[in-house]
Each structure stands twice: as C-alpha cells, then as structure tokens.
C-alpha cells in the first residue's frame, strides 16, 4: 500500500470531495435501484459513479480502492447489460462493497492508509462475475492487462483485471462459479472497450457541470462540513451587494468629513444622513439575506442516508417497510442540518423497532403487510417542520406508564395525574426504555433522550401524536437558522433582555393587583384561560430599582400548547439580533439561550422561553 | 501574538526564560504566562448574567465576541474593591476559551528564568485555592505568585459551567 504520494494536495482534495459526493449519491441510488430495477438511466448513473471513483483512485494510486471499485464496477456492468438481475442478495454485496469503498476513502481522508481486509468483500463479488471455471481461473491470474476503458483523464492501472470473459448467465441470481453456462454464440472480442467508451464519454461531461450543481448543495460530506460549495451566481450577487456597501461606506466617510468641518448645519445634511442610513440598512439586510441563503442547504443532505438505514434495519428486523420521503428539497441552515442527523436517525430507528410491527402482526391486525414510514419536511413561517410518521402500533401509554414506574422514574400518584400528552413525553426521559433487553438497535434508553436534548439545543420543539393501533407521528419544529432571530427587547428593572419573537404570542399591559396566587404560583386571568406567571426579576435576581409600579407588562410566550406569562417592567421594542454564544463556560445557564450585542455595543441576554416553561413545570 | 512574546531560550543552565505579565490584587503581586494573555482592557459595561457563580461578574462585548468576565478578587475570596482608574480586565486564554479577569492593576512584563520559580510554601495563601498556584517567585525585593490558568477552575466548577 503506497503512502499518499500525491504532492498535489489540491488534487487529492478534489478527489476526496468528488468521491465523497459520488458515494453519498450512490447509496441513495442503489436503494432506489432495488425498487426500480428497470431504470436504465439510474443504472447507468450508478455505474458511472463507481467507474469515476475507480478511475480517479487509480490515477492517484490508491490500489485497494481501485480493486474494490473495479470488482463492483464489473458486477454493476453485468447488471447494466442485463446479464444479471437485481436481487436483494446482489444489492447486499454491492452495498457492502460501497461501504468498503467509503471506509477506504475515509482512510485516505484521514491521511492514514491502512492495509484493510478487502478480500472478503471481493470474494463475495466474484460469484456474480464468473460463470465458469475458465473465467474464474482467469480472474485468479494476477495481472491481466486488458486494454481497458480508454478514458481521457484517467490512467488505468492494470490491476488484476477481471474482465469477465463474458458469457451471459441466463439465471443470474443463481450464478455460481461452477455453472458451466454454454458459451453463448455471441462473440465478444473486446469485452471491455464495448461498454467503456460510453461511460468515459459520460463521465467527462459529468465532471464539468459539477460545480454549478453544487448550487443545490448536493455538496460535501456529511461528516466533514468544513468546506462549502457556493453557486457562482450567488457569489456574484454577494459581490454586487458588497460593492454597494463600499459605495455607502464612502458616502458615510464623506458625510463624516462634512460633519467634522462644521457643515452639519446645512439644511440638507439631516436629510442626506437619513437617506444614507436607509440605504445602509437596505444593503445590509440584502447582504444578510444573501449570506443566509448561502448557508442554506436542502434537508435532502440528511434525508438521503435514511433509505439505506431503513433498508438494512428492515432486513435485520424482518419487517417490511415502505419509506416515503417528502420535501427533501426544503432548505435550512447548515448548522441546523448538521445537528438534526442524529435525532432523526434515533427517531427512525425508534419507529422501525418500536413502532412498526412485523408483517405477521400487521396481517393479524388487519393492516397491509408492508408498514409505511413517512419522512416529510416542510416550511412553515420561520420554522421548518420535520415529521416522522409510521402506521405501526402506536404508543401504548399504559405500558409506558408501567415501565416508568418500574424504572423508578415517577410514582403511581404522579402517573395518575399525567395527561395523555405528558405520558408521551415520558419516553423522552433519560434511561427510559420499554424494551426488556437492549439490542444493538435500541433499548438502552438513550435514544429519545438524545433526540430531546439535540432538538432543544437547536431551540426546536418536539411533539408526539399517537393513536394506539394506528401509528405515531413525531413532529420536530426547528428554526430555519440559528444565527439571526427576531426578538422582543424587554426591560426588567433597568436590565435589558431579549425574548425570541417566535415564542411570543402577545404582550399585555396589566395592573399587578390583578394577579392572583394559586398554590404559591402567581397567575393572571387572561380571557378564558389562567396564565401562570414568571417574574423575570425573580428568576434572574435583578435588583429592584426605585418604587415598583402598579402597571407592568406581561409577555405571553408559548411552546407547543403550553402558555406562560413573563412579567417585565417595560417593553423596549422589536429588533433583529444576531445570536452570540456565551462560550463554553456559560453555555448552560437555565433560562438563558445565548446573548446578543445591541446597537450601543452592550451585551444583552436572550431569554429561553421554552426552557423556562419546562423549568417551571 | 506579537513576536516579542515568544519565550526566549536561555543558553545557560538556568533553564528557560519565561515572560510573565504581573498584576496586583489586594496588595499582592501575581504573574501569569504572557502567552496566555490576549489583551488588557479597561472596564467596559458588564452585562450581569443571572444564576452563575458569585465570581462571574457577567459578560462583555469584546469587538463582537461575547466573553465572560470573572472577578479575581471574588474568585480568590478577597475583599471586594471599588473599580478605579487602575482596574483592568486581562483577557486570557483559559483552555482555549477567552475569559476576562478583573484585576486591581497590571504592572509590567517581567522575565524570569525557570529556576527562579519555587514551589509555593504549603500554607501561603488565605482564600486562594492552592491548585492554581504554580509557584512563587522570589526576586530581590518582590514576591510574585505564579498562577496556572488551567487550574483556575476546579473540576466541580467546570462541571457547573459545562452542563447542569
């Protein structure tokens, strides 16, 4: 195994980016192919991908990778030519090979090439390649320099090049090595070159349009988000905006000079300054939009790995699942995309393992054998809503309750007082699991806790809808971006706090004498509901300044279906603020979501209403 | 970091030359490794942060970055003092995280050789946790307490900070 001998780091990086992209797409395509095996376009695409990987890695001298890719390509080639038929068995092997390719690429990426065991996988691929002993023998010969694939950009190393001497096997699934298939009359003088020109021709143009394609950010590796590809057009737009900003800055310098020279008394000075401010604010918000757009990537990036997961899980669990994905083009901020992968995997595992029943159970319950799992994403205002819905057995609240008591997570009395909703919420408790035994899929009671924590970290909400026997739906509500939010500035005895506008339902000015006390909890009668109140002054230990007034403001905030009133001294106004982290040391203060910097340069804390509502329970 | 701050290798056997920033706190003089100090600023407006340990004064805006401010006096259990013209915030790198520490005054950058650092006597410092004292420097007429920033916060405190 040669070390990474590419002096040209750029070349290597290019290879890695491209290969990673191809592999990601490949997984998805393969799963699709299994369902739609007649799709020749898809088949060709898959073939081209693996072919490109092979070509590029051989160019760079990654021999192991070439070997695996080559064998996979051969199998795919036979599938493509209709010599083999797509079966789950073949797919298993191909997927295994793809995994191996991933692993090898991962090694290269880590700059740490190891001698991996690849023979096992290759051995599994071989049966699909050879039709008779002669072919098998040929395959065993180490070097068989077939004048292979005349690609323009790729130097093909003559690795143990098994170009199957190529008789078609009529019954492909059963193609064992020993099938002495009667040599078909069809003479194939040059096995390789026949298919080769086509992929080569296809590969080349495919490479060129790659950058524009990144516009929809089919982009980079899931595990490595350190680089971004941006549509050139978006970049141009950004440049234009920056150009305007520069002009406005010059204007500002000019105005400042005028001011210095005492020309501020000119009658039009004020007007000019006003105009400048307006233009500045316009350009800045445009700029903000542009940058935000660049950060947006389709949720597809996360979704596309799920068909594979669902496939392998359904095979492991012996369940039949039809995964339907909607709205994968929905865009959201990359920081959010990076964070939702894990929770979604947990939710999908959960649905597969706990939600959906086995085919027999389903039949018994009068449902179709095949369970449905729907993964959907949609925009709603400033939020994105992702739902994972199955038509399985639903959440058995009784069982959940019993388990919770067994595990000592709550007492009988507490349980009795819970509403249906709150029962559902029990499954998010750390350590909760209805499974008697932990399997490698689930049962350790960690998953849902992870989901909850991660979603909370994103300022998101999670809702559960479930009906016994009918299925469950997990609904995630996530902010589009974590960087900039609309917020309501409020004053609490001289200190200014910022409340995310997304959770604010209304604000009211009330007389404090109208507050009531119920069981030590201050409440306010608001129309037909009783609103629990939290005095920010108390929870934040703000010093009283001067006389307390009778009138104060109540900011009604809501999370899911819970409402709560935050009592503040004064409303300051609405502002769009950029969220700044408080750093690791102060990251976990209850009730505080972060901080922001106001126009005057002072730091203001952002209140976390969701945390407060939950903390108050 | 500026070039001047790169530690100078001494060519004799006295060990490495270390540069320290010395600062005052309640009559005593302390020193920290100059490489840990990012900048020294005057007191800006500090935004209080609720529900934090008492020695966390709040946060400030350091050119667009929000960093926590810690009162050295409170941290070390010393008498509180009014901020005056001499009061400074030393912005330091504590295990990769920027933090500001309020000190009474910052005096100078001094060079010492490693061999001048003596282990701190067992009972030396009233309220100060022994943990974060790397040693004592006894130079002619002055006595300097050398602080180890990474030991500023005990494990419990870090636990408080990083997850509750």
For B53, nearest residue in chain A (alpha carbons): A586
Nearest CA-CA distance, residue B151 and chain A, Å: 14
- Do strands A504-511 and A551-559 pair parallel, antiparallel, or not at all (unpaired)? antiparallel
Are A68 and A97 a contacting pair, CB within 8 Å? yes
Q: Could you tell me if A129 and A139 are in contact, meaning their C-beta atoms sit under 8 angstroms apart? A: yes
Contact A588 B51 (CB under 8 A): no
Domains in chain A: how many in total?
Answer: 4
Are B72 and B101 in contact by the 8 Å Cβ rule? The answer is yes
Look at residue A495 and tell me if it is in a domain: yes
C-alpha to C-alpha distance for B52 and B77, rounded to whole angstroms: 16
Within a domain: residue A223? no
> Residues for chain B: how many in total?
164
- Cβ contacts of B56 on chain A, cutoff 8 Å: 586
Question: Among B58, B64, B98, whose Cβ lies nearest the Cβ of A597?
Answer: B64
Please list every residue in chain B whose beta carbon sits closer than 8 Å to the beta carbon of residue A495: 47-48
Closest-approach residue (CA) in chain A for B64: A597
| B163/A584 Cβ within 8 A | no
Same-domain pairing of A198 and A77: yes
User: Is B161's CB within 8 Å of A586's CB?
Assistant: yes
pLDDT given for residue A117 in this prediction: 73
What per-residue confidence (pLDDT) applies to A440? 53
Phi, psi for residue A508 in degrees, rounded to 5: -140, 150
Q: What pLDDT is stored for residue A138 in this prediction?
A: 40
Nearest to A588 among B48, B60, B162 (CB): B162
Per-residue model confidence (pLDDT) at position A145: 41
* A605 interfaces chain B, CB cutoff of 8 Å: yes
Q: Is residue A410 in some structural domain?
A: yes
Q: Based on the domain organization, do A488 and A475 belong to the same domain? A: no
What pLDDT is recorded for position A571? 93
End-to-end CA distance of chain A: 60
Contact assignment for B68 to A586 by CB distance below 8 Å: yes
Q: Which of B41, B43, B49 to mutate to test the interface with A (most CBs of A within 10 A)?
A: B49
Question: A553 with A507: CB under 8 angstroms?
Answer: yes
Tokens 């007389």 correspond to what residue?
Answer: A511
Question: Is B67 an interface residue toward A (CB < 8 Å)?
Answer: yes
Q: How far apart are CA A237 and CA A239, in angstroms?
A: 5
Residues shown for chain A = 617
Residue whose structure tokens are 């359904």: A314
Radius of gyration of chain B (CA): 16
- B43 close to A (CB below 8 A): no
**Cα–Cα distances in angstroms (integers) from residue A231 to residues A24, A93, A227, A356, B85, in the given order:** 20, 36, 13, 41, 53
CA A272 to CA A252: how far, in whole Å?
Answer: 10
Nearest partner of B89 among B17, B154, B40, judged by Cα:
B40
- pLDDT band with cut points at 50, 70 and 90 for residue B14: low
**How confident is the model at residue A593, as a pLDDT?**
81
> Whole-angstrom distance between the N-terminal and C-terminal Cα of chain B?
35
Inter-chain CB proximity B50 and A542 less than 8 Å: yes
What the block records as the tokens of B149 is 């920033």
Q: Nearest chain B residue to A540 by CA: give it.
A: B50
Same domain, A27 and A152: yes
Confidence at residue A496, expressed as pLDDT on a 0 to 100 scale: 92
| Distance from the A18 Cα atom to the nearest Cα atom in chain B, whole angstroms | 34
Residue A261 resides in a domain: yes
Is there a single domain that holds both residue A468 and residue A490? no
Option in B47, B51, B52 nearest A604 (CB): B47
What is the C-alpha to C-alpha distance for residues A35 and A310, in angstroms, rounded to an integer? 13
Are A380 and A460 members of one domain? yes
Amino acid A246: pLDDT: 92
Q: Which band of pLDDT confidence, cut at 50, 70 and 90, is reported for residue B38?
A: very high
Shared domain for A518 and A548, answered yes or no, is: yes
User: Encoding tokens for residue B105?
Assistant: 């005054």
Which range of A565-574, B75-84, B107-116 scores highest in mean pLDDT? It is A565-574
Residue A133 is predicted with a pLDDT of 33
Determine contact: B99 vs chain A, CB below 8 A.
yes
CATH number at residue A377: 3.30.565.10
Q: Per the structure block, which two tokens stand in for A299?
A: 């949720």
Which structural domain range is residue A133 located in? 9-208
Q: Are residues A470 and A403 in the same domain?
A: yes
> Is residue A375 helix, strand or coil?
strand
Q: How far is A494 from chain B (nearest CA, A)?
A: 11
Contact B65 A580 (CB under 8 A): yes
For A595, the closest of B59, B161, B162 (CB atoms) is B59
A371 is written with which tokens? Answer: 């369970």
- Give the span between the Cα atoms of A154 and A16, in whole angstroms: 16
Taking the CB of residue A599, how many other CB atoms lie within 10 A of it? 7
Q: What is the pLDDT of residue A152?
A: 41
- Which residues of A fall within a CB distance of 8 Å from B47? 495, 595, 602-605
* Contacts (Cβ under 8 Å, ≥6 apart) of A444: A433, A438
Residue A100 placed within a domain: yes
According to the model, what pLDDT value does residue A130 have?
67
Q: Which of A457, A539, A585 to mutate to test the interface with B (most CBs of B within 10 A)?
A: A585
Question: Which one, of A312, A454, A294, lies nearest residue A386 by Cα?
Answer: A454
* Signed CA dihedral, A312, A315, A321, A322: sign only: positive
Domain-located, residue A454: yes
Residue A535 near chain B (CB below 8 Å): no
Cβ within 8 Å, pair A582-B162: no
User: Which residues numbered 539-558 in A keep a CB inside 8 Å of some CB on B?
Assistant: 539-542
Contacts of A592 in chain B (CB under 8 A): 49-51
Are A489 and A534 members of one domain? yes
B66 contacts A583? CB cut-off 8 A: yes
Arithmetic mean of pLDDT, B41-60: 89
Does residue B97 surpass a pLDDT of 60? Answer: yes
Q: How far is CA B5 from the centre of its chain?
A: 17
Q: Are A182 and A134 in contact (CB under 8 A)?
A: no
Q: What per-residue confidence (pLDDT) applies to A46?
A: 82
pLDDT band (50, 70, 90) for residue B130 = low
Q: Do A406 and A425 have their domain in common?
A: yes
Q: How many CB pairs under 8 A join A and B?
A: 76
- Edge to edge, the sheet with strand B142-147 lists B105-113, B17-25, B28-33, B142-147, B133-139, B117-118
B27–chain A Cβ distance below 8 A for any pair: no
A214 with A229: CB under 8 angstroms? yes
Residues 477-506 of A with CB under 8 A from B: 495
Q: What H or E segment, with its residue span, contains residue A334? A: helix A334-350
Domain ranges of chain B: 3-162
Question: What pLDDT does residue A201 have?
Answer: 38
CA A344 – CA A18 distance, rounded (Å): 26
Q: Looking at the partner chain, which of A542, A582, A601 has a beta carbon nearest the beta carbon of B68? A: A582
C-alpha distances (whole Å) from A537 to each of A14, A492, A533 are 55, 6, 12
Residue-wise DSSP of B13-80 = TT--EEEEEEEEETTEEEEEEGGGEEEEEE--PPBP-SSS-TTEEEEEEETTEEEEEEEHHHHTTPPP
Give pLDDT, residue B122: 63
The alpha carbon of B112 is separated from its chain's Cα centroid by a whole number of angstroms, namely: 17
Distance from CA of A431 to the nearest CA of B (A): 17
The pLDDT score that the predictor gives to residue B101 is 93
Q: Is the Cβ of A599 closer than 8 Å to some Cβ of chain B?
A: no
**B3-162, CATH topology level:** OB fold (Dihydrolipoamide Acetyltransferase, E2P) (2.40.50)
Give yes or no for a contact between A562 and A505, defined as CB atoms under 8 angstroms apart.
no
Distance in Å, alpha carbon of B66 to nearest chain A alpha carbon: 6
Grade residue B88 by pLDDT with cuts at 50, 70 and 90: very high
Q: Do A488 and A339 reside in the same domain of the chain? A: no
Cβ distance of A602 and B45 shorter than 8 Å: yes
Instruction: Say yes or no for a CB contact (<8 Å) between A597 and B164.
Output: no
- Indicate if A154 and A64 belong to the same structural domain: yes
CB contact under 8 A, B50 and A601: no
The torsion region of residue B53 among left (phi > 0), alpha (psi -120 to 50) and beta comes to: beta
3-class DSSP state for residue B94?
strand
Whether residue A217 is contained in a domain is answered as no
Question: Between chains, do A602 and B163 touch, taking CB under 8 Å as contact?
Answer: no
Question: Are residues B134 and B117 in contact, defined by beta-carbon separation less than 8 angstroms?
Answer: yes
- Between CA A487 and CA A459 the distance in angstroms is 14
Looking at residue A489, what is its pLDDT? 94
Report whether pLDDT(B95) > 50. yes
Name the residue facing B68 among A495, A585, A588 (closest C-beta): A585
Q: Is the dihedral of CA A436, A442, A446, A447 positive or negative?
A: negative
SS3 (DSSP) at A244: helix
A491 contacts in B (CB within 8 Å)? none
Q: In terms of CA atoms, which chain A residue is nearest residue B158? A: A585
Chain A residue numbers touching B59 (CB-CB < 8 A): 582, 586, 595, 603, 605
- Residue to test with chain B: of A534, A538, A586, most B Cβ within 10 A: A586
Residue A294: per-residue pLDDT: 80
Hey, CA dihedral for A92, A94, A98, A104, is it positive or negative? positive
| Inter-chain residue contact B66 with A587, CB threshold 8 Å | no
Element at A308 (helix H, strand E) = helix A306-317
Strands (E), A396-513: 461-467, 471-479, 484-492, 495-500, 504-511
> What is residue A364's three-state secondary structure?
helix
Question: Which residues, in sequence order, are CB contacts of A285 under 8 Å at separation 6+?
Answer: none
Q: Which of A584, A592, A597 sits opposite B162 (nearest CB)?
A: A584
| Successive 10-residue mean pLDDT values, chain A, 617 residues | 54 78 79 76 81 80 81 81 77 82 81 73 75 42 40 40 41 41 43 39 36 34 58 86 91 87 76 87 85 81 83 83 86 80 84 83 85 87 82 81 78 77 76 60 63 78 83 84 82 90 89 86 87 88 79 85 87 87 77 85 87 71
- Same domain, residue pair A162 and A51: yes
Distance of alpha carbon A173 from alpha carbon A136, whole angstroms: 17
Determine whether the interchain pair A541/B51 forms a contact, defined as Cβ–Cβ distance below 8 Å: yes
B12: alpha, beta or left, given left = phi > 0 and alpha = psi -120 to 50?
A: beta
Residues of B in contact with A540 (CB under 8 A): 50-51
- Is position A428 within any domain? yes
A 372-431 → B contacts, CB under 8 A: none
């Amino acid at each position: 195994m040669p070390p990474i001998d590419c002096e040209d780091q750029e070349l290597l990086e290019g290879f890695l980016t491209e290969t990673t992209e191809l592999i990601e797409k490949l997984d998805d395509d393969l799963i699709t192919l299994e369902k739609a095996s007649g799709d020749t376009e898809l088949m060709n695409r898959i073939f081209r991908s693996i072919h490109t990987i092979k070509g590029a890695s051989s160019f760079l001298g990654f021999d192991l990778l070439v070997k695996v890719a080559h064998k996979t390509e051969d199998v795919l080639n036979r599938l493509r030519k209709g010599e083999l038929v797509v079966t789950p068995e073949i797919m298993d092997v191909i997927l295994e090979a793809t995994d191996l390719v991933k692993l090898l690429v991962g090694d290269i990426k880590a700059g740490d090439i190891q001698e991996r065991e690849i023979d096992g996988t290759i051995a599994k691929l071989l049966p699909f390649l050879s039709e008779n002993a002669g072919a098998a023998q040929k395959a065993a010969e180490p070097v068989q320099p077939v004048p292979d694939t005349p690609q323009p950009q790729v130097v093909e190393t003559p690795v143990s090049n098994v170009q199957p001497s190529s008789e078609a096997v009529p019954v492909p699934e059963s193609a064992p090595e020993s099938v002495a298939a009667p040599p078909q009359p069809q003479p194939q003088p040059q096995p390789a070159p026949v298919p080769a020109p086509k992929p080569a021709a296809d590969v080349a143009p495919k490479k060129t349009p790659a950058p524009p394609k990144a516009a929809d950010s089919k982009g980079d590796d899931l595990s490595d988000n350190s680089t971004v590809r941006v549509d050139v057009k978006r970049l141009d737009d950004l440049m234009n905006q920056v150009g305007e900003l520069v002009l406005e800055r010059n204007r500002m310098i000019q105005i400042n000079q005028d001011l210095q020279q005492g020309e501020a008394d000119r009658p039009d000075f004020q007007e000019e300054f006003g105009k400048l401010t307006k233009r500045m604010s316009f350009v800045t918000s445009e700029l903000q939009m542009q940058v935000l757009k660049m950060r947006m990537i389709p949720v597809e990036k996360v979704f596309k790995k799920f068909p594979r997961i669902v496939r392998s899980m359904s095979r492991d669990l012996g369940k039949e699942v039809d995964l339907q994905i909607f709205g994968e083009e929905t865009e959201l901020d990359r920081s959010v995309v990076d964070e939702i992968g894990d929770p979604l995997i947990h939710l999908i595992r959960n649905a597969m393992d706990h939600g959906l029943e086995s085919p027999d159970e389903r039949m018994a319950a009068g449902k179709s054998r095949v369970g449905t799992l729907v993964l959907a994403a949609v925009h709603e205002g400033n939020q994105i809503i992702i739902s994972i819905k199955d038509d399985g057995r639903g959440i058995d609240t009784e069982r959940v309750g019993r388990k919770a008591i067994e595990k000592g997570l709550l007492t009988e009395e507490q349980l009795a007082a819970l509403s249906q909703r709150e029962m559902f919420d029990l499954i998010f408790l750390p350590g909760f699991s209805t499974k008697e035994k932990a399997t490698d899929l689930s049962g350790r009671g960690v998953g849902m806790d992870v989901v909850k924590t991660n979603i909370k970290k994103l300022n998101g909400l999670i809702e559960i809808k479930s009906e016994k026997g009918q299925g469950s739906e997990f609904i995630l509500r996530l902010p589009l971006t974590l960087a900039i939010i609309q917020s309501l500035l409020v004053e609490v005895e001289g200190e200014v706090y910022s409340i995310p506008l997304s959770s604010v339902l209304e604000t009211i000015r009330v007389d404090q004498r109208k507050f009531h006390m119920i069981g030590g909890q201050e409440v306010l009668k608001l129309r037909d509901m009783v609103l629990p109140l939290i005095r920010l002054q108390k929870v934040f230990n703000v010093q009283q300044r001067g006389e307390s007034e009778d009138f104060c403001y109540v900011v009604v905030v809501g999370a899911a279906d819970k409402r709560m009133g935050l009592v503040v001294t004064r409303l300051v106004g609405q502002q769009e603020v950029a969220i700044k982290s408080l750093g690791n040391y102060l990251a976990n203060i209850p009730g505080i979501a972060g901080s922001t910097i106001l126009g005057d340069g002072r730091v203001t804390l952002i209140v976390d209403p969701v945390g407060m509502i939950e903390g108050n329970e | 970091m500026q070039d001047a701050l790169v530690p100078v290798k001494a060519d004799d056997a006295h060990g490495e030359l270390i540069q320290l920033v010395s600062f005052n706190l309640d009559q005593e003089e302390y020193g920290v490794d100059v490489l840990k100090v990012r900048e020294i600023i005057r007191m800006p407006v500090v935004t209080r942060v609720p529900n934090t340990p008492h020695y966390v004064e709040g946060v400030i805006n350091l050119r667009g970055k929000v960093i926590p401010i810690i009162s050295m006096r409170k941290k070390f259990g010393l008498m509180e003092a009014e901020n005056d013209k001499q009061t400074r915030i030393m912005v330091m790198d504590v295990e990769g995280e920027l933090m500001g520490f309020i000190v009474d005054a910052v005096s100078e950058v001094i060079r010492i050789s490693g061999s001048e650092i003596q282990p701190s006597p067992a009972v030396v410092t009233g309220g100060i946790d022994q943990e974060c004292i790397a040693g004592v420097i006894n130079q002619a007429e002055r006595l300097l307490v050398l602080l180890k920033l990474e030991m500023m916060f005990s494990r419990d405190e870090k636990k408080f900070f990083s997850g509750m």
